[in-house]
Amino acid sequence: MNLFEKIEPLLLRVQKPARYIGGEMGSVMKDKADVKARFAFCFPDRYDVGMSNLGMKILYSCINARPEYWCERVFAPDTDFEALMRENGLPLYGLESLEPIRDFDFIGFTIGYELCYTNILNMLDLADVPVWQRDRGESIAPIVCAGGSCCCNPEPIADFVDLFFLGEGEELDLEVMDLYVKMRDAGATRSEFLRAASQIQGVYVPSLYDVTYNPDGTVQAVTPKDGAPATVKKRIIENFDQCPVPEEFVVPFSEIVHDRAVTEVLRGCLRGCRFCQAGFLYRPFREKSPETVCRQSRVLIENTGYDELSLCSLSTSDHSQIEEMMDGLLTFTETEHINLSLPSLRVDNFSAGLMNRLRRVRSSGLTFAPEAGTQRLRDVINKNVTEEELMRTCRIAFSAGQTSVKLYFMMGLPTETDDDIRGIIELAQRVVDLFYEGERRPKGKPVQISCSVATFVPKPFTPFEFHPQDTREMIAHKQKILEEAVAGHKRIRASWHFPDTSILEAVLARGDRRLSSVIFGAWQRGCIMDAWSEHFYYDRWLAAFADAGLTPEFYANRDRSYEEVFPWDHIDYFVDKKFLIRENEKAKQAATTPHCRLSCANCGVIRETGHPCFTYN
Amino acid sequence: MIPVRATFEKRRRAKYISHLDLMRCMQRAFKRAGVPIWYTEGFNPHAYLMFPLALSLGCESGCECMDFRIDGEMSMQEAMERLNRVLPPDLQILSVADPVHKHTDITAADYAVTIDCAEDTAAEALRQSWDTFFAQPEILVEKKTKRGTAQVDLKSQAQLLGADTLENAVRLHLRMPAGTSVNVNPSLLTDAFLAWLPENAADVHTGMIHAERLAILCADGSDFV
């Protein structure tokens, strides 16, 4: 059932209608009569955000590379279009076929941010699919699945999802689809399929686990049933350098957040910053060779027509051959009017050679993330960046003509004091002073240092997963300290956010299965698009907590013991809890851990991969 | 260097590409197609691409124009074939030719505007109310300009070339002023009609409105080419 005739009369009544009609260059069209299974790849946020997501582009191309499968894109409609959809009985549809996704075989969500959980419920509801897993009955389709970094603790949304993909999906998603087609054609029911799928490494079927709680509200035990594994391991790609990547992107008509070609240069991170969930979730560290990066970038530029190329990773300057890679890329980007951008650079290995290459490609300001204002606190979080390194990098940047530097910090880090907060502005002032000391600084231009200070959210699978988040009062106090500290500093700008979204993020990140009813209650009260401040209603969330007999403080502000059973303890991301405890203890002593290339910290990855991540001399 | 004027169509899904987005879409299409388009010189070189007349969002057309220059060894015919291979099926180039007219030669554009009837409304009734509406001596509307809003008399601007009563719709054939200085969108007229209906023909209800640009014209009535 093609919905074009129903969609069209609504389009001129909404903002940016191009988001809702598909037909972009690079979108994959197939004949549904020729395919065995259809996958609705749902991004639980607006088109302009979701279309920027590299994971979605990768899996869209992986699934569509198989002639017998058809993957389509689905995004959360903005509120104006959603109202018209509901008013006119228009169900959520795939942007390629313009057909209702309730008729697809898989409805898969990629989840990278906790504050989009209500959008998942809303999209299922718009699709006419029961939001609770238990209400979906025994007919096999559609299977509601989810993947992405938030699924490392899937429990808060466990009651809405049939099946989670843990880890990297390039191979896993297809294996699950293959099993599905085989079992569907043999007449299997939903629960029969889910039981069989739970045997594949990387698949977590929450309905096959019973959770019991202690009187104090903590988890007592998570018990598998029907032969499901006691711990569910994530999946990784064996050969990252040779792993297939999208040779084409769907190139949107309307502007999106990151509107450019993107090449992933490395996966994982060797740094072990103790606050950073991604740094632990995506281990082990794997690089692509400069040749592969250049070849893939070139193909992508040719096929998309983009005039901007961005390198993507958690820490691009940690690539062992970054300068060779840049040289290879510059040979074609310069002659073909392609802008090259490199986010995610570190200050401790930012060489003059790299700066010279960067000068050839862009003139915008530089961004660095010291994360904390004092050396003591940077050691606590294992950032392994010294002030000298930051100053050296800024000196290189200033003498190369830069006049603005953006610095990212966090507040609410474990062991943090008021002096650490003041240290943010003191550090920024020393960068300002450095600028005016410089002899080769650009004349006649003032320097501008922007300090963006986010509220720290403790996350699962990090050494800080045991820590309470600062209460709202503590954060308000620290924001006041920061405000007073920056007053009178003309060349420094500090910015921070109201902490309620970070508090909710902390709750959902380390929550348990009982939060399903809170998320449902918040959605019933009209919460959607919580990530957007204009749609965020914390009072509605608090009402939903009260209805469920739960409090956000229990999840966000509680000190968790090493003995406590965490809601995600049966999920295995290859990083051992023992290692996280060791790292947390070192954090308390402000002792650092060297990065993985210097020595192995025994995080647990080696147990799964069977070989060291690096060869050590 | 070969100057080219391409005529293209913009239909179905593609008619929701805004004018600004169309520029970016075409620039990327040239890159994908490997057509050596001329880049402007100067501090920030960019692909030289001109659209003599913008098409409003949601309006279909089979007569849109785009000017560019080929900077290399490629015929305009080959450029067209290459572009069509990388453009979406609803956005295809129909012909390429040497530009004849200047952009400033454009004075008018013809449109077919189809107003669907709501289920409770007969086409004859809709037609009758249109005739009454258009017979007014003046049709004043507010038009947004760069300097705020201005009042425009659409009656003196729009030329009704014909009207057909279809089974469940009324189709109007309109000629509107167009060009670099004055440009009047036919939706201004249909919006005015829809606003006029409740007070003057309360029982007439409309459905979707389809607009299609049929021609871009010069002062002497000839097609802009």
**What CATH number corresponds to the domain at position A285?**
3.80.30.20
**A1 or A565, which is more confident:** A565
Please give the tally of structural domains in chain A: 3
Same domain for A416 and A326: yes
What is the phi/psi pair of residue A121, to 5°? -60, -45
To the nearest whole angstrom, how far is the Cα of B28 from the nearest Cα of chain A? 4
The answer to whether the CB atoms of A304 and B28 lie below 8 A apart is yes
Q: pLDDT value at position A25?
A: 93
pLDDT score of A363: 53
Chain B residues within an 8 Å CB radius of A22: 13
Identity of the residue in A9, A16, A21 whose CB atom sits nearest the CB atom of B13: A21
User: From the list A8, A253, A303, which residue is nearest B21 (CB)?
Assistant: A253
Q: Tell whether the model's pLDDT for residue A365 goes beyond 70.
A: no
B-facing residues of A in 335-354 (CB < 8 A) are 337
- Arithmetic mean of pLDDT, A16-35: 96
User: By residue range, what is the domain housing residue B62?
Assistant: 2-99
Average pLDDT over chain A, rounded to whole?
A: 94
**Chain B hits for A248, Cβ within 8 Å:** none
Residues of chain B numbered 58-87 and touching chain A (CB < 8 Å): 58, 86-87
Is pLDDT above 90 for A441?
A: no
Residues A205 and A96 reside in one and the same domain:
yes
Q: Name every chain A residue with its beta carbon within 8 A of the beta carbon of B29.
A: 25, 305
Give the mean model confidence (pLDDT) for residues A71-98: 98
Task: Kindly state the helix (H) or strand (E) to which residue A110 belongs, with its residue range.
Answer: strand A106-110
Residue A361 has pLDDT above 70, yes or no: no
Is A264 strand, coil or helix?
Answer: strand
Task: Work out whether strand A404-411 and strand A448-455 pair parallel, antiparallel, or are unpaired.
Answer: parallel
Residues in chain B, overall count:
225
Pick the last residue of a domain from B72, B99, B126. Answer: B99
Tell me, yes or no, whether B225 lies in a domain: no
Please name the helix (run of DSSP H) or strand (run of DSSP E) that holds residue A410, with its range, or none: strand A404-411
Nearest CA distance, B157 vs chain A (angstrom) = 24
Is B122 within 8 Å of chain A by CB? no
Burial level of A503, CB count in 10 A (0-12/13-18/19+)?
Answer: buried
DSSP per-residue string spanning A344-408:
---STT--HHHHHHHHTT--SPEEEEEESSSHHHHHHTT----HHHHHHHHHHHHHTT--EEEEE
Report CA A61 to chain centroid distance, whole Å: 19
Residue span of the structural domain in which A602 resides: 575-609
Which residue from B12, B57, B88 is facing A25, i.e. has the nearest CB? Answer: B88
Spatial CA neighbour of A248 closest among A257, A261, A239: A261
B99, B126, B145: which is the final residue of a domain? B99
* pLDDT at residue number B79: 97
For residues A494 and A589, membership in a common domain is answered with no
Identify all chain A residues contacting B18, using CB atoms and an 8 Å cutoff: 16, 18, 253-254
Select the more confidently predicted residue: A377 or A334: A377
Please choose, from the candidates A532, A550, A414, the residue with its C-alpha nearest in 3D space to the C-alpha of residue A474: A414
Query: Do residue A358 and residue A460 come from a single domain?
Result: yes
Q: How confident is residue A444, by pLDDT bands cut at 50, 70 and 90? A: confident
Mean pLDDT across A388-403:
85
**CATH code at B58?**
3.30.70.580
Put simply, the answer to whether B87 touches A303 (Cβ < 8 Å) is no
Q: Please list, in sequence order, all residues whose beta carbon lies within 8 angstroms of the beta carbon of residue B119, skipping any fewer than 6 positions away.
A: none
pLDDT single digits (tens) A299-309? 999 999 998 99
Contact A302 B30 (CB under 8 A): no
Residues B46 and B91 in one domain: yes
Query: Residue B89, Cβ neighbours under 10 Å: how many?
Result: 12
Contact across the interface for A23 and B90, Cβ inside 8 Å: yes
Structure tokens at A242: 């040779």
Instruction: Tell me: pLDDT of A364 over 80.
Output: no
B224 in a structural domain: no
Q: Please give the Cα distance from A518 to A508 (Å, whole number).
A: 10
The DSSP letter of residue A25 is: B
A227: domain CATH number is: 3.40.50.280
Q: Can you spell out the DSSP letters for B163-201?
A: EEE-SSEEEEEEEEE-SSS----HHHHHHHHHHHHHHH-
User: A101: pLDDT confidence band, cut at 50, 70 and 90?
Assistant: very high
- Is A426 part of the contact surface with chain B (CB cutoff 8 Å)? no
Interface membership of A2 toward B (CB under 8 Å): no
Q: Residue A397 — very low, low, confident or very high, per pLDDT cuts 50/70/90?
A: confident
Q: What is the model's pLDDT at position A530?
A: 95
Per run of 10 residues, the mean pLDDT along chain B (length 225 residues) is 96 95 94 92 84 95 97 95 96 97 96 96 96 96 82 93 95 95 92 96 94 96 94
Locate the chain A residue with the closest alpha carbon to B16.
Answer: A18
Q: Do B14 and A255 touch (CB under 8 A)?
A: no
* Domain shared by B140 and B213, yes or no: yes
Q: Are A305 and B90 inside 8 Å of each other by CB?
A: no
pTM value? 0.94
- Is there a single domain that holds both residue A342 and residue A440? yes
Q: Assess contact for A71 and A183: CB atoms under 8 A.
A: no
- Cβ of A334 under 8 Å from any chain B Cβ? no
User: By the CB < 8 Å criterion, does B16 face chain A?
Assistant: yes
> Given an 8 Å threshold on Cβ–Cβ distance, is A307 in contact with B208?
no
CB–CB contacts below 8 A, A to B:
70
Contact A126, A92 (CB under 8 A): yes
Q: What is the ipTM of this complex?
A: 0.90
Does the pLDDT value for residue A360 go beyond 70? no
Q: Are residues A159 and A307 in the same domain?
A: no
Residues B86 and B17 grouped into a single domain: yes
- Same domain, yes or no, for B193 and B174? yes
Asked whether the beta carbons of residue B27 and residue A307 sit closer than 8 angstroms, the reply is yes
Residue with the two structure tokens 């093609």: A2
Q: Please check the confidence at residue A350 and state whether its pLDDT lies above 70.
A: no
CA distance linking residue B129 with residue A353, whole number of Å = 74
CB contact under 8 A, B57 and A17: yes
The reply to whether B223 falls in a domain is no
Strands B2-10 and B60-70, by their bridges, are antiparallel
Examine residue A449 and state whether it is found in any structural domain, yes or no.
yes
pLDDT at B181: 83
A97 touches chain B (CB under 8 A): no
Average pLDDT, integer, range A51-59: 96
Residue A191 has pLDDT above 60, yes or no: yes
pLDDT of residue B46: 82
Residues of A within 8 A of B28 (CB-CB) are: 25, 251, 304-307
Contacts of A337 in chain B (CB under 8 A): 39, 45
CA nearest neighbour of B213 among B58, B45, B50? B58
Residue A238 lies in a domain: no
Residue of A nearest to B29 (CA): A305
